[in-house]
Amino acid sequence: FTPQGFERLKAMHLDEPKKADPYEILGVKRTDSDADIKQAYRQLIRENHPDKLMADGMPQEFIDLANDKMAAINAAYDQVKKERKL
């Protein structure tokens, strides 16, 4: 893991949802452009989508984890969009 990847995983799984930094979850900086943040969000969605894991034949535990990750990613992106008025 990279340090940034570790912080993103930590924010998604260990921090309380209200306290988690949405930028850490998305793996971006607050100073990144709106386009860069959207690109990072879309990449995370592609990597973590439960349907992709189902198609790859992953066990149900992985799919359940992917659902939790997707919820955290979507909540983080919604929070960033609201903050930036996108």
Domain of residue 46 covers: 3-84
Whether the pLDDT of residue 17 is over 70: the answer is no
Q: Encode burial over 55-67: b for 16+ CB neighbours within 10 A, e otherwise.
A: eeeeeeeeeebbe
The pLDDT of residue 16 = 57
Tens-place pLDDT, residues 27-65: 999 999 999 999 999 999 998 899 988 898 988 888 888
Please provide the distance, in angstroms rounded to a whole number, between the alpha carbons at the two ends of the chain: 31
Residue 2 identity (one-letter amino acid): T
- Length of the chain, in residues: 86
Whether the pLDDT of residue 15 is over 60: the answer is no
pTM of the model: 0.75
The domain spanning residue 12 has which CATH number? 1.10.287
DSSP 5-74: HHHHHHHHHTS-TTTS-HHHHHT--TTS-HHHHHHHHHHHHHHH-HHHHHHTT--HHHHHHHHHHHHHHH
Number of domains in the chain: 1
